[in-house]
Amino acid sequence: MKSLSLDQETKLGEKEQMKPKSAPSTRLMVAPPETFLHPSGHRVEWLISDRAVPYETALQRMESHVEAMIRDQAPERVWLLEHPALYTAGTSADRADVLQSDFPVYQTGRGGQMTYHGPGQRIAYVMLDLRARGQDLRRFIAALEGWIIEGLAQLNIKGERREDRVGVWVQRPDKGIGHEDKIAAIGIRVRQWVTFHGISINIDPDLSHFNGIIPCGVANPDFGVTSLTDMGHLMLMGEFDIIFRQAFERIFGPTQTVFEKE
């Protein structure tokens, strides 16, 4: 990918059975993920919101933090949260992909097309400084995918990349030969080599809400949407967050917990 000057901005995004009662005791083996570390080894802020955050509020807070990071006045941060039910339109979105307007639709500057956010879905807004970590957007996207795949592997779920479809996919032979479901989406924005927006992973959302759109522009009936619950992995959001944080640290380095200001 062609390098970007520091005053440019880009958007990258959608590249576009129940578990047995006795789950395997051994962890799924995957290749060690490629790291994307900060040379100083400093700790990334790890912030979790325990209440649903309105989308416009989240955008304002991200914008403010990223601007401070560009001025070297704020640290790197990963922000975990949930949104109320809504749809977002990325920079490549086609309004024809909104099939029914049950929820509000927000225009957003991230890359990608139409997607759904709502309760039961873990959003991770990733604000990292690529000026220090390396100005390589393809490698950054691969690191985000690796983070998701590493976390899923700890649950004995094999997440996979696809060259023609961004996000992380799982094979679903129980639904037919060649059927695959997306379990996690990626849509980011980069401003002066500082990243924001991020990823979403389906823990236990209402999957019927995806029926109001063509998710990420993928209309092929062989490619659907799934969640941990849909695959038979019942767990609390907080339990997943622990696994997700461990996987993040293996790729991006150490974190430190921070709390929301009153």
Active site residue 124: no
Q: Tell me the Ramachandran region of residue 120: left when phi exceeds 0, alpha when psi lies from -120 to 50, beta otherwise.
A: left
d(CA 123, CA 121): 6
Q: Considering the domain boundaries, does residue 181 fall inside one?
A: no
Q: Considering the domain boundaries, does residue 173 fall inside one?
A: no
pLDDT of the chain, 262 residues: tens digit per residue: 333 334 456 665 544 333 333 333 345 555 666 899 999 999 999 999 999 999 999 999 999 999 999 999 999 999 999 999 999 888 777 777 788 878 999 988 787 778 899 999 999 999 999 999 999 999 999 999 999 999 999 999 999 999 888 789 999 999 999 999 999 999 999 999 999 999 999 999 999 999 887 766 666 778 899 999 999 999 999 999 999 999 999 999 999 999 998 5
| Backbone dihedral angles phi then psi of residue 241, each to the nearest 5 degrees | -60, -35
Count how many Cα atoms sit within 13 Å of the Cα of residue 116 in the half-sphere of its side chain.
28
Among candidate residues 227, 217, 174, the one with its CA nearest the CA of residue 13: 217
Task: Give residues with Cβ within 8 angstroms of 32, minimum separation 6.
Answer: none
Q: DSSP string of 151-191?
A: HHHTTT---EEETTEEEEEEE-GGG-TT-EEEEEEEEEEEE
Pair of tokens at residue 28: 């799924």
Q: Looking at 114, 216, 218, 225, which residue is catalytic?
A: 216
Q: Give the pLDDT confidence of 48-97 residue by residue, as tens digits.
A: 999 999 999 999 999 999 999 999 999 999 999 999 999 988 877 777 77
CATH number at residue 50: 3.30.930.10
Domain count, the chain: 1
Q: Considering the domain boundaries, does residue 30 fall inside one?
A: no
Are the CB atoms for 9 and 189 separated by under 8 Å?
yes
Among candidate residues 205, 207, 210, 166, the one with its CA nearest the CA of residue 188: 166
Q: Considering the domain boundaries, does residue 29 fall inside one?
A: no
Buried b (16+ CB within 10 A) or exposed e, 109-145: ebbbbbbbbbebbbbbbbbbbbeebebebeebbbbbb
Pair of tokens at residue 15: 């590249």
Say what the pTM is: 0.87
Range(s) of the domain holding residue 97: 36-139+186-221+237-258
**Degrees, nearest 5: CA angle 53-147-238:** 45
**What single letter denotes the amino acid at residue 105?**
V
**What single letter denotes the amino acid at residue 215?**
P
The helix/strand/coil state of 88 is strand
Q: Considering the domain boundaries, does residue 81 fall inside one?
A: yes
Q: Considering the domain boundaries, does residue 19 fall inside one?
A: no
Q: Give the pLDDT confidence of 166-186 residue by residue, as tens digits.
A: 789 999 999 999 999 999 999
Q: Quick one: DSSP state of residue 97? A: G
Q: Considering the domain boundaries, does residue 232 fall inside one?
A: no
Q: Considering the domain boundaries, does residue 98 fall inside one?
A: yes
